Amino acid sequence: MVDYVVYGRGCFNQLDEIIAPRRKDGRPMIFLVDHFFDGKPLVNRIPVRGNDKVIFADVTYEPKTTQVDKLSKQLKDEFGNISGVIGIGGGSTMDLAKAVSLMMTNPGSSADYQGWDLVKYPGVYKAGIPTLSGTGAEVSRTTVLTGPTRKLGMNSDFTPFDQIMLDPELAANAPANQRFYTGMDCYIHCIESLQGTYLNEFSKSYGEKALELCQYVFLQKDKWDDECDDKLMMASYAGGMSIAYSQVGVAHAVSYGLSYLLGTKHGIGNCIVMNHLHEYYKEGVDEFKRMVEKNKIDIPVGICKGLSDEQFDTMIGVSMGMKPLWENALGKNWEKIMTREKLRALYEKL
């Protein structure tokens, strides 16, 4: 779990004070900031001291193992070692920060650690500051990376942040579409966790709360305001806690294939898939559709049109590889239920 959590409007202002005891002589703090904030006022509020460095993370594409390896090598070459990494941004930037922290102390390539419990050593100090709400990357024990052969996280006890700062003000100006897609990541985490076979009281307690908060902001509110940002940031946290002790399910397993082959982003990819999962999550999908309608969001259709057999096979391979997700969704005999043919038919609908 994350060791330290602060929450509240304006808590970003405490960053300097919070990281002060973590500074090591002569070693810089690295602020890895979502490139959206390049040239924005937030950058001037970052407590840069001594040889600290601000690096803008290009998150045009979701994080890759090559990008993580390049960043950590660059930091090793320039500084030898560093005091820590502070990731400020959406799920992509937070994942990059987690992975770079781990690769400052673990040998080889980040691709070597894609899987479960492969990371050997704790990374350098790492803190996460979300500017979009929904992924739960701020609390999870994974960092999702696209590598040479798969899209899979570095899942380990060393992966969670040492500190997170949840300041809803930072999410205030996110565009409505992006906010919805990332918010739906949280909603879908809740549906997949609450209807999964891995469910237990720990996951349920957090999942139910996150679900209630998502329903409030996306169905009950008529206008987006500060209260929505406050609530969605806590929904993301609780949704992340819920899957920490369970798993995600069909939407994520299928969406990973899209993302690997077509580069479809996580939030929107999940929405594209969720639209067609009535068979698995009936009530959740009905409610999801009401949210889409109420918030006037367009969900792309026809993205798999014209793909070759080989391309479908690639997606099916990536998706089928997510065994824990399928097992959570469909039970131990999932391979009998979700055959390659059935999955192909589902991809064709997208």
Q: Which residues make up the interface to Fe ion (CB under 5 A)?
A: 185
- Contact between 182 and ligand NAD per CB under 6 A: yes
- Are 126 and 3 contacting, i.e. CB atoms less than 8 angstroms apart? no
How would you classify the pairing of strands 125-130 and 29-34?
A: unpaired
- Whose Cβ is closer to Fe ion: residue 84's or residue 87's? 87
What is the 8-class DSSP label of residue 27?
A: P
- Contact between 207 and ligand NAD per CB under 6 A: no
- How many chain residues bind ligand NAD (CB under 6 A)? 32
Stretch that binds ligand NAD, among 105-113, 116-124, 178-186, 207-215 (CB under 6 A): 178-186
- Whose Cβ is closer to ligand NAD: residue 170's or residue 214's? 170
Among 14, 66, 178, 215, contact with ligand NAD (rule: CB under 6 A):
178
Q: Find the shortest distance in angstroms from Cβ 266 to Fe ion.
A: 6
- Are 40 and 95 contacting, i.e. CB atoms less than 8 angstroms apart? no
Among 143, 155, 195, 246, contact with ligand NAD (rule: CB under 6 A):
143
How would you classify the pairing of strands 151-155 and 144-146?
A: antiparallel
Residue 304, CB-side half-sphere exposure with 13 Å CA sphere: 27
How would you classify the pairing of strands 53-57 and 84-89?
A: unpaired
Binding mask 44-83 for ligand NAD (x = CB under 6 A): ---------------x--xx--------------------
- Are 328 and 198 contacting, i.e. CB atoms less than 8 angstroms apart? yes
- Contact between 93 and ligand NAD per CB under 6 A: yes
Phi, psi torsion values for 154, nearest 5 degrees: -90, 90
- Contact between 318 and ligand NAD per CB under 6 A: no
Element (H or E) spanning 166, and its range? strand 163-166
Torsion, Cα 39 41 46 52, to 10 degrees, reads 20
Footprint on this chain of ligand NAD (rule: CB under 6 A) = 34-36, 59, 62-63, 89-93, 95, 131-132, 135-137, 140, 142-144, 170-171, 173-175, 178, 182, 185, 265-267
